[in-house]
Amino acid sequence: MSFEKGDTVVLHEKHSEYDGEAGEITQTAETMFGDVNYTISFEDGQEAGVPEDSLEAAPDAEVGSDDEDEEADADAEDDE
């Protein structure tokens, strides 16, 4: 699975301080061997040169999408 700039992913790299964290892809770069490496931005930093096999698409729950906020707002209106 390939990723694009703006996708939210979970990093799986045991040697990274961001292992297991969700972040957003901010840059992609193709190596001279045709592989794609990614730069991922996290809340408190970024990780560059990440290979595709160290990433997985983030589940919606981890992304903190706006849909959750809209549902909470709708529930609050129902309570009024």
In 3D space, the residue among 67, 69, 61 whose CA is nearest the CA of residue 22 turns out to be: 61
User: What is the band of 68 on the pLDDT scale with cuts at 50, 70, 90?
Assistant: very low
At 64 the pLDDT is 47
User: What is the band of 78 on the pLDDT scale with cuts at 50, 70, 90?
Assistant: low
Q: What's the mean per-residue pLDDT of the chain?
A: 83
Model confidence, pTM: 0.70
**Is 77 a residue whose pLDDT tops 90?**
no
**Residue 34 DSSP one-character state:** S
Other CB atoms within a 10 A radius of the CB of residue 56 amount to: 14
Task: Compute the average pLDDT of residues 18-44.
Answer: 96
Q: What are phi and psi of 53, to 5 degrees?
A: -75, -5
